[in-house]
Amino acid sequence: MSQFAPTSDQRHTASPPPHLEAWSLPPGWSWGAEAILREHRHYQEVVDALGRSLSLVSAPDPSHDEWLQHEARALAHRNHPSVPTTYHYWASYEESRRGPGYLRRWIGGETVFSRISRLGPDDVPFALQVLREAGSTLAYLHDTGAAHGAISASTVWLTPGGRLWLLGWEWVLPRDQRPAGLQPDAAHTPWPPEWAPGEWRPTPASDQWQLAAMLFTMLTGETPPERAVPPLSLLRPDCPLALGAVLERALATDPADRFPSVAAMLRDMDRHVSVRPVLIAPEGDELPAALDSAEARLRWATADDYEILSPLGKGMFGSVWRARDLSLAREVAIKVLHPHIARDDVAVARFRREARLAAQLAHAAIVPIYDTDSRGDIVWYTMELAEGGSVASLLSRSGPRSFEEIAPQVDEVLEALHAAHTSGIIHRDLKPENILIDRYRRWRIGDFGIAYALGEEGAGTSGTPSFAAPEQLLGEAQGPATDCYALASIVYFVVTGRAPFGDGRAETVLAQQLSNTLPARLLEEGLPGALADWLQRGLAVRVEDRFEDALEMRVAWREVVRAMRRVEDVRPWWRRLIEGGQEDGTSEPPSGW
Ligand code: ATP
Ligand code: MG
């Protein structure tokens, strides 16, 4: 048995790479900062005229153009939530300045491989969720008469919003649509025992084996041997025996001993492995005493309207779940208020009023609130699902961001802030966890008005103090300036990876703010002058020393962007590559492709 070896079959590349250099994008489009190269395929982030990040898939080797087109065409006809579909194909012809390549949505997040390298073996409920979703994708594929053949920790991709994507579609084509002699790299693809070395023969039964092999790796951190797989219960005593039995059968050496299909494997698992309590909703609004977990309460309360899929996180005021809105057949995020808050009638009434106001804030950089509702003493609201997670999770996954990447995002967020402030709504709880990222990588402010409605009057120290303004930490009057200050702290955090005054207790942060340690910190971080000046003004202790409002802050931000461009332009290209850190960033884990 081999220990999980941390090598990856993908790496970051400078953007755009040589084979895309002569391309010219349509008006209003730009190259994004991220790009990943895998064997035979290049994935380049591009930003369209509407500010959405898309992935441009191309083949560095020109002799693979036809292969690429077959792939784009096949994907365009697939229809499953875990299969990325083709938005558009750029053909290459005489006078075209781009192509061939196809566009699909940008998939933020990481591979199972990167997740295991980062966090070690996974917990059982998470692994089961991956097994269910990847398995359902394979069942769909097998129903269409195809097999995948390259299911591995590098082709299964997980987003912070709790979604799973299956990739590796360049292989899922009839033999005559792929270059002769090419096959997935055995170094990154688990090789089922029925395949001789170097002999790649994908079948639904080999997909089943590969899926089980990936699960085995997720649970143990080790790749399973081809023969005589040790019982999972020996390696993972916390793993339900029934799950071990399912994986063992799927990993059988002889394909005839495996489940007759992946669908049969999933059915068998669902029959014997139960991680979720099965609830039969009783009549009435009285909460059954046995429902003590937040999930059970939420399932009980929303039973007919939403299917609760997986947890997204927990905060000051409630817990957030990914859910399917059953009547509209769309996925949403649902936040259920903590019981002690839900029991406070005054707070709930204010929360309802504020949520109604926030629901009217229609802005591209504000997460829309769809609805608020309650049953018994369970109160929840639904909002758009941010598939990219939060800025906080982005940084903990992939480290500080480049100025170039955040410049347009900060601009939009400032515009949204200004729009909200002119409608009389302040946020009061801006922090990286509350800046969410949508499927196109755009930043959007979440939880508008919620802290204002639910936070204790005047206490001001809601949640983390790291991004709060001095007046908030002192419990003094707060207004739009408090939000502007918080946004400046977030910008500082995003470019340096550290909160401007540390992440200690409120008194410690306040002491740092008041003793004006900022200029020294800015110097220490080595931030460019224009950006440092903007931060210094945004983080001024006295409100009157800060920007007048979000609008003025945005105008000043644009000045910083212009100044940074001038600085960038005088650097030779090779210096930009070295200092920008985007060439072959093997030290930085991939965060999307
Ligand atoms: P606070 O309660 O102060 O807002 P918080 O933002 O950390 O703190 P929650 O708002 O309860 O707490 O959110 C918990 C986590 O759930 C967040 O960190 C975020 O990653 C995730 N989350 C929240 N809203 C959404 C959403 N609409 N889509 C996807 N994930 C979300
Ligand atoms: Mg929040």
- What secondary structure does DSSP assign to 291-311, as a single string? --SHHHHHHHHHTTTEEEEEE
In a domain, 261, yes or no: yes
d(CA 397, CA 117): 12
Question: How far from the centroid of its chain's Cα atoms is residue 410's Cα?
Answer: 18
| Domain total of the chain | 3
- C-alpha 74 to ligand 1 mean position (Å): 37
Q: What is the pLDDT of residue 283?
A: 42
Crossing angle of helices 262-272 and 124-143, rounded to 10°: 150
Same-domain status, 22 and 169: yes
Angstrom distances, CA of residue 416 to CA of 33, 250, 431, 558: 24, 51, 15, 15
Binned at pLDDT 50, 70 and 90, residue 165 comes out as very high
* Phi and psi, residue 574, nearest 5°: -70, -30
Q: Which atom of ligand 1 is nearest to the CA of 318?
A: 11
- pLDDT reading at 469 higher than 70: yes
Q: Write down which residue in 335, 364, 384 finishes a domain.
A: 384
- Write out the residue range of the structural domain in which residue 105 sits: 1-275
- pLDDT digits over 194-204, tens only? 999 989 999 99
Q: Is residue 321 within 8 Å of 298, Cβ to Cβ? A: yes
User: Best substitution site from 298, 312, 466 to test ligand 1's pocket, by max atoms within 8 Å of Cβ?
Assistant: 312
**What's the whole-model pTM score?**
0.80
pLDDT band at 589 (very low <50, low <70, confident <90, very high): very low
What is the reported pLDDT for 96?
A: 77
Q: What is the pLDDT, as a whole number, of residue 575?
A: 58
Residue that finishes a domain, picked among 384, 419, 450? 384
Question: Which whole-number Å values give the CA distances from 571 to 57, 540, 549, in the listed order?
Answer: 29, 32, 34
Q: 516 or 419: whose pLDDT is higher?
A: 419
Predicted confidence band of residue 285 (pLDDT cuts 50, 70, 90): very low
Q: What is the pLDDT of residue 296?
A: 78
- Note the ligand closest to the C-alpha atom of 451: 1
Pair (449, 482) in one structural domain: yes
Query: Listing from the earlier edge strand, what are the strands of the sheet with 156-158?
Result: 110-111, 156-158, 164-166
pLDDT band, very low/low/confident/very high, at 6 (cuts 50, 70, 90): very low
* C-alpha closest to that of 34 among 51, 7, 16, 21: 16
Residue 157 lies in a domain: yes
Q: What pLDDT score was predicted for residue 536?
A: 96
Question: How many other CB atoms sit within 10 Å of the CB of residue 87?
Answer: 15
- Residue 463 Cβ contacting ligand 1 at under 6 Å: yes
How many A from CA of 139 to the centre of ligand 1? 33
Which residue from 320, 370, 452 has its CB within 8 A of the most atoms of ligand 1, so it is best to mutate? 320
Which listed ligand is nearest to 464 at the C-alpha? 1
Same domain? 325 vs 230 = no
Q: Has residue 573 been placed in a domain?
A: yes
- Exposure string for 452-464, b = 16+ CB within 10 A, e = fewer: bbbbeeeebbbbb
User: Cα separations (Å) of 550 from 360, 423, 428?
Assistant: 19, 13, 14
d(CA 39, CA 148): 17
Range with the largest mean pLDDT of 121-135, 408-422, 561-575: 408-422
Block residue for tokens 């002119």: 422
Between 138 and 306, residue with greater pLDDT: 138
pLDDT given at position 593: 64
d(CA 77, CA 468): 49
Atom of ligand 1 lying closest to residue 390 CA: 20
Q: Answer whether residue 243 is part of any domain.
A: yes
Q: What is the pLDDT of residue 2?
A: 44
Amino acid, single-letter form, for residue 361: L
**pLDDT confidence of residue 8:** 67
Boundary (domain end) residue, out of 321, 351, 384: 384
What's the pLDDT at 568? 63
**In the prediction, which pLDDT does 455 show?**
62
108 lines ligand 1 (CB under 6 A): no
The reply to whether 256 and 307 lie within a common domain is no
Give the pLDDT confidence score for residue 316 in this predicted structure.
Answer: 81
Residues 256, 337 share a domain: no
pLDDT digits (tens, 9 = 90+) for 330-345: 889 999 888 888 888 8
* CATH assignment of the domain containing 268: 1.10.510.10
Q: How far apart are the first and last CA of the chain?
A: 31
573-577 average pLDDT score = 58
Q: Is the model more confident about 208 or about 505?
A: 208
The answer as to whether 405 is a domain residue is yes
Q: Report the pLDDT averaged over residues 80-87.
A: 90
Answer whether residue 279 shows pLDDT above 50.
no
Nearest CA residue ID for atom 15, ligand 1: 313
Going by pLDDT thresholds of 50, 70 and 90, the confidence category of residue 129 is confident
Query: What's the confidence (pLDDT) of residue 281?
Result: 38
What is the rounded average pLDDT of the residues 534-561?
Answer: 96
Q: What is the pLDDT of residue 532?
A: 96
Residue 372 belongs to a domain with what CATH number?
Answer: 3.30.200.20
Residue 174 is predicted with a pLDDT of 94
**Residue 453 above 80 pLDDT?**
no
pLDDT at 588: 44
Q: Is residue 590 part of a domain?
A: no
Q: How far is the CA of 497 from the centre of ligand 2 (A)?
A: 20
The reply to whether 280 falls in a domain is no
Q: Using the predicted structure, report yes or no on whether residue 5 has a pLDDT greater than 60.
A: no
590 Cβ contact list (under 8 Å, min separation 6): 8, 10, 11, 12, 34, 36, 110, 111, 114
* Mean pLDDT score across all residues of the chain: 86
User: pLDDT higher for 278 or 232?
Assistant: 232
C-alpha span between 547 and 142 (Å, rounded): 59
370 and 403 together in one domain: no
Residues 378, 407, single domain; the answer is no
- pLDDT value of residue 461: 45
- Distance (Å) of CA 64 to CA 60, 177, 222, 482, 498: 8, 10, 34, 55, 44
99 CA distance to ligand 1 middle (Å):
40
Token reading at 151? 């299911």
Same domain, 36 and 135: yes
92 and 60 in one domain?
yes
- From the CA atom positions of the chain, what is the Rg in Å? 26
Asked whether residue 27 falls in the same domain as residue 114, the answer is: yes
The SS3 of residue 130 is: helix
pLDDT at position 233: 83
**Residues in CB range of 42: below 8 A, 6 or more apart:** 13, 17, 19, 20, 35, 36, 57, 58, 59, 60
pLDDT of residue 459: 38
For residues 327 and 344, state if they share a domain.
yes
Residues 440 and 565 in one domain: yes
Q: With contact defined as beta carbons under 8 Å apart, do 210 and 260 qualify?
A: no
Q: In this structure, what DSSP letter does residue 62 have?
A: G
Q: Is the pLDDT of residue 579 over 80?
A: no
pLDDT at 578: 59
In a domain, 327, yes or no: yes
